[in-house]
Amino acid sequence: MKKSLTYVLSFALLLAVAVPVSTQSVSAAAKTYKNCTELNKDYKGGVAKSASVKNKGGKTKHKPFVSAELYEANKTKDRDKDFIACEK
């Protein structure tokens, strides 16, 4: 009984410590890039605000990475305002 209580408490403590760490790594992903060349080095297809957005310019070579937070940090690079920044 004491062992199982110890395991449960240890797991709860580990979970409580791990959740804030993963939240911090998501916010660190919202990097602002200097230009589209720099952004396309990390994300070849650009960055889309959501998975349901469509490209206005037609067919692209690469599928965009979907991240609303990363898009918001780099939305000045979305020249055609189709909610995909730096699409290729």
pLDDT in tens, 7-33: 776 777 776 766 554 443 445 558 999
Instruction: Decide if pLDDT at 63 tops 90.
Output: yes
Fill in the amino acid letter for 66: V
Q: Looking at the chain, which runs of residues are DSSP E strands?
A: 47-48, 65-66, 84-85
Arithmetic mean of pLDDT, 32-59: 93
pTM for the model: 0.65
Residues 6 or more apart whose CB falls under 8 angstroms from that of 33 comprise: 39, 42, 74, 77, 86
Mean pLDDT taken over the chain: 83
Q: How much is the pLDDT for 67?
A: 96
The C-alpha atoms of residue 87 and residue 75 are separated, in whole angstroms, by: 12
Evaluated on CA atoms 31, 42, 76, 69, the torsion sign reads: negative
